[in-house]
A and B are shown apart, each in its own frame.
Chain A
């Protein structure tokens, strides 16, 4: 349904006689850059520790696992699919490496085996989605439980620790002579590669083509099934790589490492302007939105705001990033259809939400006071 509507509106905008200067400026990447600047400005005012190179360097490595998994996720979402299993795959790979390490296997062999297992995990997803033709959401929901379950199976209630320093360098070390963490350098390098593949190769063009119209792409002789298989294998490999980086950063592995990160990965990609319905998005936008989320979380952390409460801001940002442009686009039709009745229902909803929050604070006050 929505794809058709989107295609139509795109056609209209493409044939529009002239675009205003503002329209060009309102490209999504510029919006994110503006938001980043606002965030940096506000946070510098609020906390003297915000613009501290050491702090920034340390906090930046916290987001690299999300970043590494986001790169193939951009590919997958552009084709109109999704991978909910990435964080579970990450946990599975890291736990497998931990298990082998506990058994006394050489750390590099263990890491290689973990990468292999993660890639196999991606292959299973890819096979079920591209060959058996099951919906991506269903398949990766199943493997989401399966891979996380394997992580628990490997390590149980144990944690693996005592990794050699040569290995933890990949999570904690800095690139020689600078403050840039190794993981950040790795992410930037891979982001450039993924960006070039997406925007400068035929493979990348095929991804957009699949996202816009999978059937038509298939009938044009493009090997859709093979491409879908490849991107899920990539996703599995990158998830296990993220798992290794995570293990190196913590210096230990627990089977519940990274639970729930898949939603953070998807949030970063979508906030970066990658269309969840497929066919649209850029690697630059996704990378910028990762930077924005990282800076926001870091700033709120400095202000002693709990991680979960920070989620309110990230969630609002995610919704507003789609809501505001769509309201701006729909403003003319809104004006046409606006009448007394819709004004009344808008007022009613506003009243309901206000009442809800009055109740929210009223019911909370006595208990909070008693604590």
Chain B
């Protein structure tokens, strides 16, 4: 790599390796290349894959995942993890669905605000026991994972909310397309832009990275570490609450097992998107690509007619593959830098 690069600098004719070099320097290079290869391979097998409609479908499917994965990313950047997101979604979804069923006339925006508020309460509980209680994040959120899920059962006594019990305006929230794309995709994009701005261009956002890469140094430089950590779990709850409302709206039901197991998908999307599990590293575009990759994998396995029973195995294998290839490309880049 080094040799190629230096020769590229010397002779302007060698523009291809120059281009390659610029590409590789991006942190997201590994996953982008992986996505392109996957798209090309699948398109050869199933031409209907590379159509606008199909990609709209993929985007619709990954919107909720993207929102929660971005929340998960902020948590992981502080060297934490939030395993309770799935149960927060389940609990908030059930509570909002109950309220909407009883009061069909309430405006949709109020339901969204309600969901985010309930999520904030659950998230702040996580934040409190992690910061002021000194409980390691993985333990705290493993505990609330089963507490919140237990509360879902306790709350609903095993009953469900079905499609006919929900008002039409509420169902329209996720599916309407007044702006050309489904609302839910637009909401996910807005969340991504806000999180991007927050992480990269605000002081608090930079503090999140500082706390993640070196907590002690961050504290000595005057950052209130506890507050930042509390904040990311609070935000995780808020975004999980938003995701919960969208979930009820999209799937038109709230069940006791809503979003069961979803926490590992959000971690997978973040990690595949280049977020370092040991903290301090992660980008919003990377995570969006990670969610996109998971969505593409799911979609393409159906299109190339892999039996649904083998799909989970293929997904798991591809996640492993993405992580290994990313590590490999990164080590090449590191070596090239030297």
Task: Say which one of B5-13, B56-64, B97-105 lies at the interface with A.
Answer: B97-105
A-B contact pairs, 19 of them (CB 8 A): A2-B136, A128-B320, A134-B327, A138-B277, A142-B316, A145-B319, A149-B316, A155-B309, A266-B142, A276-B139, A308-B149, A311-B147, A312-B147, A319-B129, A327-B133, A330-B134, A349-B124, A349-B128, A356-B118
- With A135-B278, A152-B310, A349-B128 in contact, do A311 and B136 touch (Cβ < 8 Å)? no
Could you say which of B79, B149, B216, B315 contacts A149, with CB atoms under 8 Å apart?
A: B315
Could you say which of A138, A143, A147, A366 has the most chain B C-beta atoms within 10 Å of its C-beta? A138
Tell me if A306 and B153 are in contact (CB < 8 A).
yes
Interface bin, chain B = 35 or more
- B125 touches which of A255, A312, A353 (Cβ 8 Å): A353
Please name 7 further chain A to chain B contacts, defined as beta carbons within 8 Å, in addition to the given A145-B313, A153-B307, A349-B128, sorted by A numbering: A128-B324, A141-B319, A145-B319, A146-B317, A263-B145, A322-B135, A364-B156
Residue of A nearest to B219 (CB): A1
Q: Across the interface, which residues of A come within 8 angstroms of B129, CB to CB? A: 319, 323
Q: Is B150 an interface position by the 8 A CB rule?
A: yes
* Residues in chain A near residue B125, CB distance under 8 A: 353
Pairwise interchain contact A363-B102, C-beta atoms closer than 8 A: yes
Count class of interface residues, chain A: 35 or more
Q: Separation in Å of the B93 CB from the closest CB of chain A?
A: 13
Closest Cβ of chain B: how far from A95's Cβ, in Å? 11
Interface residues of B (CB under 8 A from A): 79, 81, 83, 95, 98-99, 101-102, 118, 121, 124-125, 128-129, 133-136, 138-140, 142-147, 149-159, 215-216, 256, 260-261, 264, 267-268, 271, 277-278, 307, 309-317, 319-320, 323-324, 327
Q: Which residues of B contact A144 (CB under 8 A)?
A: 264, 316
Would you call A152 and B312 a contact (CB within 8 A)? yes
Asked if A1 contacts B315 (CB within 8 A), the reply is no
Q: Is the CB of B216 within 8 A of A1?
A: yes
Given contacts A135-B277, A308-B153, A352-B121, contact A149 B135 (CB under 8 A): no
Q: In the bound complex, do residue A148 and residue B146 qualify as a contact, i.e. CB atoms below 8 Å apart?
A: no
A367–B143 touching, CB < 8 Å: no
Chain A contacts of B99 at CB under 8 A?
Answer: 363
Q: Give chain A residues whose Cβ lies under 8 Å from the Cβ of B98.
A: 363-364, 367
What's the nearest-Cβ distance from chain B to residue A367, in Å? Answer: 5
Is the CB–CB distance between A322 and B136 below 8 Å?
Answer: yes
Distance in angstroms between the alpha carbons of A356 and B148 in the assembled complex: 13
With the chains together, A322 CA to B141 CA distance in Å?
12
**Do the beta carbons of B312 and A134 come within 8 Å of each other?**
no
Binding site for B on A (CB under 8 A): 1-2, 4, 82, 84, 128, 132-135, 137-139, 141-150, 152-153, 155-157, 255, 259-260, 263, 266-267, 270, 276-277, 306, 308-316, 318-319, 322-323, 326-327, 330, 349, 352-353, 356, 359-360, 363-364, 366-368, 371
Question: Shortest Cβ distance from B142 into chain A, in angstroms?
Answer: 6
* Residues on the B chain within 8 Å of A132, using CB: 324, 327
| Cα distance, A126 to B307, chains bound together (Å) | 29
Q: Taking A145-B312, A146-B320 as contacts, is the C-beta distance between A308 and B150 under 8 angstroms? A: yes
- Chain A residues contacting B216 (CB-CB under 8 Å) are 1, 4
Docked-complex contact A315 and B121, CB < 8 angstroms:
no
For B313, the chain A residues whose CB sits under 8 A away are 145-146, 148-150, 152-153
Chain A residues, CB < 8 A from B157: 368, 371
Residues on the A chain within 8 Å of B81, using CB: 137
User: Hey, which chain B residues are within 8 Å of A276, CB to CB?
Assistant: 136, 138-139
Cα distance, A144 to B144, chains bound together (Å): 21
Question: Using Cβ atoms and an 8 Å threshold, which residues of chain A touch B256?
Answer: 308
Q: How far, in Å, is B76 (CB) from chain A's closest CB?
A: 10
